Amino acid sequence: MVSMGMTGPGEIFTRRRALGSLGALAGLPAMGCASPSAATTDATVSLPPSRILWRSRPLVDGEYVLGLVPAGNVVCVGDGFGNVYGLTASSGKERWRRTFRNNSAGYLPLAAADGRVFAAGSMRAAALSAATGRQLWSVPAAGVEPGFPPQLPTYFVVHASGVVCVLGANGDVTGLDPVTGGTIWRHGPTRYGGFGAGAAAGDGVLYVAETGGGVAALDVSTGRLRWAASAPSVASTLLVLDGVVAGTPTASPSYDAGELTFGLEAATGRLLWKKNFDTETYSSIAGAGGQVFVHVNLLNGAATVGNAIYAVAARTGRTTWHRSFPGQSIGGTIYAADGVLYTCFQDGVLRAVSPATGANVWQSSALGSVGSITPGSGVIYGNAAGSPDTIYAIRP
């Protein structure tokens, strides 16, 4: 299964990010300088180190983490072996575990609200009690992504404005009651194909990418279509920021999703800008302070030669800064939270950089291979790759 990361309303929701590895922060701060449309360079400065709050005990031998979502005083984790865990947020100790007989049938936690964790897996969506792991309800859901061998399942579960929005089995979107799982509304695909790629919510509207290269805006409360518009690419990730819906594809030779990152006017769907940073790249986005941050894997043929982040003005698409990073593997995460842009690639370094300039606020190279991160309330959660993976909680 391919994972989906989940953030708060107005941020990114995508299953294309499997959590990688995240370890102990050693506090090796550095800083860069940047000018508009110029790459940054690093220089060492003296900054307070971040602090490890806890490391979880290894969970199941050989497992790998696919999803993690904070749920109050519990951190819910889903793995690739069909297990879902509830860890105490203050200590990392295991509170409960659900194990499914078919290890492809475990639920992957994607969203949380009001003591419930909303998850997807094995063509179903479910709500679990965050306190005990007990299943509260389960309904059919989850689609299949057309044209992407080998027809991998793809999911999104978005909680917004008191409604749980999920991808349906036929490429539709359903709004569910978070308490009962009952259907509030259902909306079928528009002329731009079935739903099934990126999704994001903001200001009572759910924005969903479509497999034919479009984006639809649905009223979260009623499911009413506000607009449907063509997009330059099939967006695997979307975000909502300052009246703009930004999207970027996951491009690869086997999936003709397009190569353009784009911005649409949130109120109307009108195209504001489109940009091509590099061909045959995998990318994801984050947003803060009127800027969209685009992560690009730099390829030379079949080889990965590094990663880059481009900062783009949300309204105009103008590049304000960019920065390149070394690396030999595809993957990684960028995430904006609490006035910092967190970056982690599989070069063994976790960085906190300035959203305004791209300069390092702090960095650590004592992490091993670095993948996705999930910020909580004043805490960063993540995992260090191993056999098995280990969950960390870090105070920036």
Q: For the chain, state the CA radius of gyration.
A: 20
Nearest to 98 by CA among 113, 120, 72, 79: 79
**Tens digits of per-residue pLDDT, 293-332?**
998 877 766 666 778 899 999 999 999 999 988 766 666 7
Domain 5-395 indexed as CATH 3.10.20.90: no
Per-residue pLDDT at 114 exceeds 90: yes
Q: What's the pTM?
A: 0.83
189 CB-contact burial (10 Å; exposed 0-12 / middle 13-18 / buried 19+): buried
pLDDT category, 19, cuts 50, 70, 90?
very low
Residues 343-376 have pLDDT tens digits of 877 666 778 899 999 998 888 765 556 566 788 8
**What would the pLDDT profile of 43-91 be if each residue is shown by its tens digit?**
333 344 567 788 887 666 556 777 889 999 999 998 877 788 999 999 9
Closest alpha carbon to 113 in 125, 98, 129? 129
Q: Give me the residue spans of the domains in the chain.
A: 5-395
The alpha carbon dihedral of 350, 354, 359, 361 has a sign of negative
